[in-house]
Chains A and B, each alone.
Chain A
Amino acid sequence: MKRYDDRQRDPRKEVDVMDLNDRPRNSGKRKNSNNIKQNNKSGNYNSQKSNSKKSNTQNTRSVNSAPRGARTKVKIKNLNKEFTIITYVFLALFMCLTIYLMYYVQFVSEDFMNNPYNARLDHLSETTIKGDIISSDGEILATTNVDQNGYESRVYPHGDMYAHVVGYSANGMSGIEKDANYNMLRSNSFFLTKIVNEIAGKKNQGDTVVSTVDSRLQSAAYNALGNNKGAIICIEPSTGKVLAMVSKPDFDPNSIEANWDEYISDDESSVLLNRTTQGLYAPGSTFKMVTLMAYMDQYKDYDDFYYDCNGEYNLSDHSMHCYNNKAHGPENLLDAFGNSCNCAFSEIGLKLNINGYGKLCDDLLFNTELPTNLSNTTTSRFSLNADDSDSTIAQTAIGQGQTMVSPIHMAMLASAIANDGLLMKPYVIDHVQNDQGHVVKNYKSQAYGQLIDGNTAAKMDEYMRYVVTNGTASSLMSDQYCAYGKTGTADFSSDMDKNHSWFVGYAENYYGKEIAVAVIVEEVPSGSPYAVPATKEILDTYFSY
């Protein structure tokens, strides 16, 4: 076949100097076809020259003649390798291109296309009635009403209750209305129905988006927050499903257009802001969870921790106080956490290696975009340098200072601890179905990864349970479920009479049903734990069905 020993010759000479006549026809022909098959797997020739055998008698002789093959072999064999390489390189490139195109259409395009700059979405609404949004238990949260004249209007039967999770679709869009706009504008109705509609000139029914939100829990959370400002988010730790998401103050998406100017001009209460994902708050004592994890990480002998609290912790430039200046007396680490002892945690903070502390916070998703499938989440902030003053370090350790967190971030931490350290990405759209209820697209739950080491998560279980059994969240004791958590009170201004009240934690029952929650109630009078009773209402509801 191919003679490699010839390869060193000058190709030019091979071309110029060749003897074409010394080869018997038939063998030459056969060899040629072998040559082609073996050396050019793309198998793309020898056919053209013989194609006109019948139709073009004029050329029959040349077409069928073997010598071409024979000569080709003599002269060109040395270039076959180069040609083959180049051919394969190009073929590989084109194949990658084709595969990429297929991948894009099948898996990427849907999410990519759901963009306000995509004028095609408006075009779709001319042929499709935008589909419904329903809760996981089948409550209609948003639907399109069509009146006798064909005029369409978007209706939200529950008004304010789902304002932030479902969102609005006038004057722009938000929430699921925005994230799943494209899905609801597409119709996967039965194809015969679509053909009939097309002939009749009727619009197709868009697909229905099924949310992960449970209407019973959402309603409980909505009522638990009452007339206060604040935010509540509940996540199922094993999947990342968002079960409830409430932010107050809220608005009625049915009348958003009429009240738009008012909402826009009101800077103070920021009605349109979804506080669960976009609000940033000082974490207060809930941040002691993070400080505790850092301490357990850095001091393997944390069981031997001992501190005698007299209600005050003096630093060179500042003194820290426990809540109401209460002296907790001698404490181990568990007591300090259960009592939410500011003095003990100031001491812990000052013992920490600051770089390690900062690294842990980075690992726990501070200063980075949160891994969620929700749009518009705000990044939590943590910053501390080794040369910061003692008071700054102590303040940071107890959750004051520069640290800012969003409620969903705290719920994610709780969720990861509840799920043995494995964080599932929160998501709010469960699946898309057509008007007959057949699933068109399923959003699977996705793991972010091991956020917290399994042993640490197990230890945190113990500590957060102690807060409920012996500490500041004792009202969450119940025979229906087992709650874990951490309370917090965060100063937000110089007005010492008002604080933000926090609860971050999770609960489970005997059957393995689990829920992680983050509750923040804004600007409530100091001294009364608003978040804990709100959490109790939610947990009582959740474990009642």
Chain B
Amino acid sequence: MLHVLISASRFSLIIFMAVYTFYSFTALKSNIKPASQEKLFKKQTRLMYMFLINANLILYLLYQDVRILILAICEIVLFMLTFVIYKKIYSNASKSLVNNMCMLLAVSFVILTRLDIDKAIKQFVFAAVAIVITCFIPIIVAKLEGLSKLGMFYGIIGIIGLALVLVIAQTTYGAKLSLSIGPVVIQPSEFIKIIFIFFVACMLKDIEDFKYLVKVTIIAAIHVLILVMSKDLGGALIFLVTYLVMLYVSTRNPFYMFIGLVAGALASIVAYFLFSHIQARVIAWKDPLSVINDQGYQICQSLFAIGYGGWFGTGLGQGMPEKIPVVTTDFVFSAISEEMGVLFSICIIFLCINCFLMMFNISLQIKDYFYKLIALGIGTLYGAQTFLALGGVIKFIPSTGVTLPLVSYGGSSLFCIIILFAIIQGLYVRENNEDMEYEEIR
């Protein structure tokens, strides 16, 4: 009987997700009426709860662990709380973005509960703490006018932080990323992403002359180089792309972008010949089956998982995602594909696209140039990281060991991304409030 329930839920979960995704794009239409848009968001929240209840019930029936039920209730409460917080503190926030954030978190909770309930609980705690902290973001953003004057300070903090990691960090899966402080293990590079965006925005908002640009570029390049030395290729790429996009938009000179891309490509080629771990990744990308015993093992298992799940997935608990190494972090997308189906995964990709579009959209609307650049930086960072994470696990591009924002397990990464979402929201709210003031003056 359980089998029948699981088989049925294969389809119901996909339907919830697909309808949700459909609504999130319908809500973007320029000619939609505000009232019907509001209705869509309501429907979205309902779908989200239905998804959580359905998936967690199946998981409970499968594993008979009471913690699953408790966690599910906590998750729903957290989401309700989130909506309240955003309504009160971030009045007028982008609901689409809040909903998408919660939906992606919901998917993350479900798949982590399936893979490892302890990690799911931790992930939940991280998310809860991060959401509470985000209550203060709009206050910080609104009050601290001086944020934009600390450009060099951010740059130096960033470099020191990354260098510190390079020197004393632990090596995990071939890359130096994490720093232990007592019982807590953090990945500073995740937080430095935020500082880096602030740095670039500060510096590029007042471009004095070409010399000045060179100076900024050198500091940004140092960030990237330290990351390359830490063997964090994904991180280096994300920083590079974020910088180039911000540079391109602020100078409006495609030539810089072009130069940057060429330099990046040349550097990649040099790095390919210098570092064996890069070669290993490229080999594993070109023909993973030929090195399945070795570098290709992970990507092969990931592709087996996606293929085994097929369009509709095996159903929760019916696949073997635990065969994929580091499935909870970098390869969480494969686990989702295997058990919930590629159709579900495609919905996730579209949700990520939706978030990305919303961020760019917000950036486009912001009038203050500094905040505009920050929003642009966050949008680019989100887009680049999502692309690297998804492309790596389906063998579209060589794997770079990047986590999928909001979905992958990992405190620092989750923390950082929720804060970035909150900053975007804070900027959006600030924008709206200025409008209001302006209205009042009139």
Contact among A72, A82, A97, A110 with B367 in the assembled complex (CB-CB below 8 Å): A72
Contacts of A86 in B (CB 8 A): 245, 248-249, 360, 380
Q: Which residue of A lies closest to B6 (CB)?
A: A198
Contact among B7, B307, B346 with A98 in the assembled complex (CB-CB below 8 Å): B346
Residue from the set B346, B376, B395, B435 with the largest chain A CB neighbour count within 10 Å: B435
Contact A61 B436 (CB under 8 A): yes
Q: Given A47-B37, A82-B248 in contact, is the A62-B387 Cβ separation under 8 Å?
A: no
Please, how many angstroms separate the alpha-carbon atoms of A56 and B95 in the complex?
12
Q: Which residue of A lies closest to B383 (CB)?
A: A90
| Dominant secondary structure at the A interface | helix
A470 at the interface (CB under 8 A from B): no
A128 to chain B, nearest CB (A): 13
A36 at the interface (CB under 8 A from B): yes
Contact A109 B303 (CB under 8 A): yes
Q: Given A72-B365, A110-B307, A198-B7 in contact, is the A90-B38 Cβ separation under 8 Å?
A: no
Contact B252 A79 (CB under 8 A): yes
Proximity string of chain B (352-389) to chain A, C-beta cutoff 8 Å, 1 when within and 0 when not: 11001110111111011100100010001001000100
Contact among A42, A51, A98 with B349 in the assembled complex (CB-CB below 8 Å): A98
Contacts of A78 in B (CB 8 A): 252
Contact A100 B30 (CB under 8 A): no
| Dominant secondary structure at the B interface | helix
Contact A40 B96 (CB under 8 A): no
Please, how many angstroms separate the alpha-carbon atoms of A523 and B252 in the complex?
79
Contact B367 A117 (CB under 8 A): no
Q: For chain A, which range describes its interface: under 10, 10 to 19, 20 to 34, or 35 or more residues? A: 35 or more
Contact A47 B32 (CB under 8 A): yes
B342 at the interface (CB under 8 A from A): yes
B315 to chain A, nearest CB (A): 11
- A selection of 21 A-B contacts at a CB cut-off of 8 Å is A11-B250, A12-B369, A37-B30, A45-B361, A47-B29, A48-B95, A48-B428, A52-B34, A52-B38, A53-B35, A56-B91, A58-B91, A75-B367, A90-B387, A94-B349, A97-B391, A101-B396, A112-B303, A112-B307, A120-B320, A195-B4
Q: Which residue of B lies closest to A25 (CB)?
A: B442
Contact among A65, A96, A97, A98 with B435 in the assembled complex (CB-CB below 8 Å): A65
Contact among A44, A50, A80, A90 with B358 in the assembled complex (CB-CB below 8 Å): A44
Please, how many angstroms separate the alpha-carbon atoms of A115 and B305 in the complex?
12
Within 8 A of B (CB), among A57-73: 58-59, 61-63, 65, 67-68, 71-72
Contact B356 A90 (CB under 8 A): yes
A33 at the interface (CB under 8 A from B): yes
B137 at the interface (CB under 8 A from A): no
Please, how many angstroms separate the alpha-carbon atoms of A98 and B380 in the complex?
19
A482 at the interface (CB under 8 A from B): no
A79 to chain B, nearest CB (A): 6
Within 8 A of B (CB), among A90-134: 90-91, 93-94, 96-98, 100-102, 104-105, 108-110, 112-113, 115, 117-120, 123
B300 at the interface (CB under 8 A from A): yes
Contact A43 B29 (CB under 8 A): yes
Proximity string of chain A (19-60) to chain B, C-beta cutoff 8 Å, 1 when within and 0 when not: 011000000000001001100101111111111111110110
Contacts of B368 in A (CB 8 A): 15
Contacts of A65 in B (CB 8 A): 435, 439
A87 at the interface (CB under 8 A from B): yes
Residue from the set B3, B307, B319, B438 with the largest chain A CB neighbour count within 10 Å: B307
B28 at the interface (CB under 8 A from A): yes
Please, how many angstroms separate the alpha-carbon atoms of A50 and B34 in the complex?
6
Contact B306 A198 (CB under 8 A): no
Contacts of B345 in A (CB 8 A): 101
Contact B346 A102 (CB under 8 A): yes
Number of residue pairs spanning A and B whose beta carbons lie under 8 angstroms apart: 217
Contact A198 B4 (CB under 8 A): yes
A423 to chain B, nearest CB (A): 25
Q: Which residue of B lies closest to A191 (CB)?
A: B7
Please, how many angstroms separate the alpha-carbon atoms of A53 and B95 in the complex?
13
Proximity string of chain B (142-186) to chain A, C-beta cutoff 8 Å, 1 when within and 0 when not: 000000000000000000000000000000000000000000000
A199 at the interface (CB under 8 A from B): yes
B268 to chain A, nearest CB (A): 17
Contact B436 A101 (CB under 8 A): no
Within 8 A of A (CB), among B334-352: 342, 345-346, 349-350, 352
**Chain A interface residues (CB < 8 Å from chain B):** 7, 11-12, 15-16, 18, 20-21, 33, 36-37, 40, 42-56, 58-59, 61-63, 65, 67-68, 71-72, 75-76, 78-83, 86-87, 90-91, 93-94, 96-98, 100-102, 104-105, 108-110, 112-113, 115, 117-120, 123, 195, 198-199
Contacts of B223 in A (CB 8 A): none
Contacts of A62 in B (CB 8 A): 92, 432-433, 435-436, 439
Known pairs A43-B28, A61-B436, A101-B342 / 19 extra A-B pairs, C-beta < 8 Å: A11-B250, A33-B30, A45-B362, A46-B30, A53-B34, A61-B439, A67-B435, A76-B365, A79-B249, A82-B248, A86-B249, A90-B356, A97-B390, A108-B307, A110-B307, A113-B308, A119-B320, A120-B320, A199-B1
Contact B300 A117 (CB under 8 A): yes
A70 to chain B, nearest CB (A): 11
Contact B249 A83 (CB under 8 A): yes
B205 at the interface (CB under 8 A from A): yes
Contacts of A75 in B (CB 8 A): 367
Contact among B37, B300, B353, B383 with A51 in the assembled complex (CB-CB below 8 Å): B37
